[in-house]
Chain A
Amino acid sequence: MTHLRSYLFTVLTCVAGLLATMATAQDFDALVASLPDGNFDDRAAVVGQIAASGDDRAVGLLEALSDGELQVLKSDGRLVIVTDVKGVDIAADALTGAEAGVVPRRGASAIRVNNSLRRTIGAAIGILTLSSPDPARRLTAAEAAFRAPDPDQLDLLQTAILDETDPRVSAALKSAIAATTLAGDSTVADKLAAIAILKTQANQAALGILTPLVAAPDAQIAAAAADAVDQIERTQKLWSGAQNVLFGISLGSVLLLAAIGLAITFGVMGVINMAHGELVMIGAYTTFAVQEVIRNSFPFLFDWSLLIAAPLAFLMAGAVGVAIERGCVRFLYGRPLETLLATWGVSLILQQTVRSIFGPNNREVGNPSWMSGAFDIGHLTITYNRLWIFVFALAVFAILLFVMKKTPIGLQMRAVTQNRAMAASMGIRTGWVDAMTFGLGAGIAGLAGVALSQIDNVSPNLGQSYIVDSFMVVVFGGAGNIWGTLAGAFSIGIANKFLEPYSGAVLAKIIVLVCIILFIQKRPRGLFAVKGRAVDG
């Protein structure tokens, strides 16, 4: 570091002197001609002057110098840029660009550069692009100057910002100037102003520049830097917190999708359906099958594949659900443990059936174009598939809520669950309602499968990986309360993502599981328990 400083200092003094006299074209030629002379430090000074000249040829020249392509012809001492064309070295005049023919073996010697010189060259090139007509290149240059602040470039940057019209580049330049000010030996007032500017830049690079300044000899600067570091760290924490919430919401929407069908079968009907995960899997395989047909016969429909698959998956999983209810579950009402075992049996059969039809390996389900890509908000990156799954989960939730609360079938479902005998005597066909309720839960599981096929491997084991999680969500939220499932899914999702940075993904999951287990001890009926006079005998 000290080495870098001392050499920057020499460079600075040379450049400052020369800038005062404004380089001309003749000066440029002379400067270039003087490159081969002297030691590395002299050469660094010349590089600085070349950069400061603002000549159009400077970038190409410096790049060639850095790459060792700037060479001196032994025959006439002319400076040329040597390029390798199909194994033959071709020389071109360094200043005019005129063809200078083939360079014979050992016919030219390169101007030697070492690493520190290469750094100087790099910085100089960065600065030179500041005057590029392309705003994107100027932005890159400004950002480069910010990341590697070089006091020599301060004046250049200050000149550049005066002419800058693009607001983004202008902002980047401002930060770069601040960083550069801090790197050099400007007045305390300037440095304090610079710190204030960097403070608004809540990123790692600003932090990297400011942190060493906390130990600066000047107390004022040290205090300002400490304050700025503090604030930046706070802001960063805020952003990373926001990022975690975002990831958590994303995971939560997946959990919600997986659990929401269970909220009906387990929460509302009180039936433990261990085959729930397999119904999700059926939804995912339905999506796969639909995409296969589309790929083979109607490729133009591919972007619509999920919209086509959704109703089919609902019907498919719903039909399987009705079959499970009629064929098995209905004989076991009031015997939850037996239901658990029987539906586990169903789940094994469904798994093996799918394995026999589609094979044991993962199946590829494609993302339609509107599900791919990402966009930024502030420091956050949001992918479209996560966004759509979130929207989808909420939509499914809203529809479910509507069906349960506002439609006749929903009313009948609630009536049957609350008092079967009374509902039956009111003329409700309880058997039919049971089948429909179970079918609805199963169908929603199928819909979840469509969404999950977009982010997870579609394999016969798909369902297994969600079953424990979805039960946790429903139990945590409080069985019998659909809103509880929503709250449960998002709190578990967010808790998971907040733990992950500290503990890693697997441990986070374990911790969350343990917490839920402990929570259930405390409130056996979940977050939003349906309260009432205890009725157990």
Chain B
Amino acid sequence: MGLIDRRMGIFLAGLFILTVAIPVGNLLIDGKPVPSYLVSLFGKYLCYALLAVALDLVWGYCGILSLGHGAFFALGGYAMGMHLMRQIGDRGVYANPDLPDFMVFLNYSELPWFWHGFDMFWFACLMVMLVPGLLAFVFGWFAFRSRVTGVYLSIITQAMTYALMLAFFRNEMGFGGNNGLTDFKDVLGFNLQSDSTRAGLFILSAIALAAGLLIAKAITNSKLGKILIAIRDSESRTRFLGYRVEEYKLFVFVVSAMMAGVAGALYTPQVGIINPGEFSPANSIEIVIWVALGGRGTLVGAAIGAFLVALTKTLLTGWLPEAWLFALGALFIFVTLFMPTGVLGVIESTLRRKPAPKPTQEASV
């Protein structure tokens, strides 16, 4: 029952190899066998994987199907984006030392109050966790206390991210409207365009993913984790045993939201932009399919699922853009109808009964 079981061990080993190989291939080997864009691309996948782990923690273990996790991710991304905007200083197009370009453009006379403090890196890092955590706390406190469950909860989480999307699209909100935050220059003095910074961010993302997985694993291995599963399987029985279900749900929801916030914070500098589109309900629901494909309630599977779907998306949208939505739609249907345990479930059950009765064809996914 250790933190690192076989499944986790294999995954972390694979992650470690990737984390070494990609930066080495990009920075140290002549001829750059790994082009720079791939470093950021894989870094992005790692952020998605962390986001998927965060969702798996609440959905896989506690049965809370959040269709609003993209909101926590985006809030983390915005918090980091605000720091990066402040770092631009007077190097913006309008060369205003105090105001980011979009504020000059929108005739702001001074920095809005909620932008203060984001010039400090530690403050931004704190906000990356605090803002999504606080939103999750307030939202969850209301929702869980009044026992909103199942699809009702899913629908209102979706409404939450939708409302935030509408809000962030407004110029008056002070977050750059529909253009979002972009044109970042550097972070802690490191140029964001340089290969070594990219590699650094990539490694950081890998560490964050590993840490996220281990924290999630520690939580689910504890007695608290078993209570979460108990809540998922029979909420009312858990109550009658004397557990305050709403407290447990709130705890795991907030932890998960913070994890999603960290993923978003690492995502923003690697992608170079954060905009209100990240709040769109469609994005949040896509996270769910990563987890479902990889294997709900396995943590590692969620990370693998995120990686597989994101990779397929990159390949397909570049190669056959029309086919991507067909593929994604078909994936949703296929996984829910035929692969309820996900890729990991299929692989593991195949391995368990060695002489497989019939060859399972998960390779087609």
Residues of A near any B CB (own CB < 8 A): 272, 274, 328, 331-332, 336-342, 344-349, 351-353, 355-356, 464, 467-468, 471-472, 475, 506-507, 509-510, 513-514, 516-518, 520-522, 524, 536-537
Q: List residues of chain B with CB within 8 A of the CB of A467.
A: 281
Which residue of the partner chain, among B152, B170, B292, contacts A520 with CB atoms under 8 Å?
B152
Check A332 against B336 for contact (C-beta < 8 Å): yes
Check A348 against B332 for contact (C-beta < 8 Å): yes
Q: List residues of chain A with CB within 8 A of the CB of B337.
A: 328, 331-332, 342
A331 and chain B: residue at smallest CB distance: B337
Check A506 against B169 for contact (C-beta < 8 Å): yes
Task: State the CA gap A466–B315 with chains docked (Å).
Answer: 31
B340 and chain A: residue at smallest CB distance: A338
| Minimum Cβ distance to chain A for residue B245 (Å) | 13
Which residue of the partner chain, among A337, A345, A464, A513, contacts B329 with CB atoms under 8 Å?
A345
Q: List residues of chain B with CB within 8 A of the CB of A522.
A: 146
Given contacts A475-B152, A520-B152, 7 further A-B contacts (CB under 8 A): A339-B336, A348-B325, A467-B281, A472-B159, A510-B167, A517-B163, A521-B146
| Minimum Cβ distance to chain B for residue A313 (Å) | 22
Q: List residues of chain B with CB within 8 A of the CB of A340.
A: 65, 151, 154
Task: State the CA gap A398–B237 with chains docked (Å).
Answer: 43
B244 at the interface (CB under 8 A from A): no
B142 at the interface (CB under 8 A from A): yes
Q: List residues of chain B with CB within 8 A of the CB of A355.
A: 322, 325
Task: State the CA gap A344–B332 with chains docked (Å).
Answer: 7
Check A537 against B159 for contact (C-beta < 8 Å): no
Q: List residues of chain B with CB within 8 A of the CB of A353.
A: 326
Per-residue interface assignment for chain B, residues 41 to 65, with 1 indicating a CB less than 8 Å from any chain A CB and 0 otherwise: 0000000000000000000000001
Residues of B near any A CB (own CB < 8 A): 65, 139, 142-143, 145-152, 154-156, 158-160, 162-163, 166-167, 169-170, 234-237, 281-282, 285, 288-289, 292, 322, 325-326, 328-337, 340
Check A336 against B331 for contact (C-beta < 8 Å): no
Task: State the CA gap A18–B88 with chains docked (Å).
Answer: 77
Q: List residues of chain B with CB within 8 A of the CB of A346.
A: 329, 332-333
Q: List residues of chain B with CB within 8 A of the CB of A513.
A: 159-160, 162-163, 166
Q: List residues of chain B with CB within 8 A of the CB of A536.
A: 235-236
Which residue of the partner chain, among B166, B289, B325, B336, contacts A349 with CB atoms under 8 Å?
B325
Q: List residues of chain A with CB within 8 A of the CB of B160.
A: 513, 517
Assuming the A-B contacts A341-B292, A475-B152, A514-B163, are A468 and B281 also in contact, with contact meaning beta carbons closer than 8 angstroms in the complex? yes
Check A345 against B331 for contact (C-beta < 8 Å): yes
Check A337 against B166 for contact (C-beta < 8 Å): no
In the assembled complex, 14 residue pairs joining A and B whose CB atoms fall closer than 8 Å, in A order, are A272-B154, A340-B65, A341-B288, A344-B329, A345-B330, A348-B325, A355-B325, A464-B282, A471-B155, A475-B155, A517-B156, A521-B143, A524-B147, A537-B237
B235 and chain A: residue at smallest CB distance: A536
Which residue of the partner chain, among A338, A347, A464, A518, contacts B336 with CB atoms under 8 Å?
A338
Q: List residues of chain A with CB within 8 A of the CB of B331.
A: 345
Q: How many pairs, one residue from A and one from B, have CB atoms within 8 Å of each other in the complex?
A: 125
Check B166 against A524 for contact (C-beta < 8 Å): no
Most buried by B among A328, A332, A336, A352: A352
Which residue of the partner chain, among B142, B162, B333, contacts A518 with CB atoms under 8 Å?
B142
Check B336 against A341 for contact (C-beta < 8 Å): yes
B148 and chain A: residue at smallest CB distance: A524
Assuming the A-B contacts A348-B328, A472-B159, A513-B162, are A537 and B148 also in contact, with contact meaning beta carbons closer than 8 angstroms in the complex? no
Check B159 against A516 for contact (C-beta < 8 Å): yes
Q: List residues of chain B with CB within 8 A of the CB of A516.
A: 156, 159
Q: List residues of chain A with CB within 8 A of the CB of B330.
A: 345, 349
Task: State the CA gap A274–B282 with chains docked (Å).
Answer: 11
Task: State the CA gap A464–B325 with chains docked (Å).
Answer: 14
Q: List residues of chain B with CB within 8 A of the CB of A349.
A: 325-326, 329-330
Task: State the CA gap A536–B150 with chains docked (Å).
Answer: 12
Most buried by A among B139, B285, B330: B285
| Minimum Cβ distance to chain A for residue B165 (Å) | 10
Assuming the A-B contacts A336-B150, A337-B154, are A345 and B162 also in contact, with contact meaning beta carbons closer than 8 angstroms in the complex? no
Task: State the CA gap A518–B159 with chains docked (Å).
Answer: 11
Check B325 against A351 for contact (C-beta < 8 Å): yes
Q: List residues of chain A with CB within 8 A of the CB of B143.
A: 521
Check A341 against B325 for contact (C-beta < 8 Å): no
Q: List residues of chain A with CB within 8 A of the CB of B163.
A: 509-510, 513-514, 517
Check B145 against A521 for contact (C-beta < 8 Å): yes
Task: State the CA gap A79–B269 with chains docked (Å).
Answer: 79
| Minimum Cβ distance to chain B for residue A488 (Å) | 13
Closest 9 CB pairs of A and B: A345-B332, A348-B329, A349-B329, A352-B325, A513-B163, A345-B333, A521-B146, A345-B329, A342-B336
Q: List residues of chain A with CB within 8 A of the CB of B332.
A: 341-342, 344-346, 348
Most buried by B among A328, A507, A513: A513
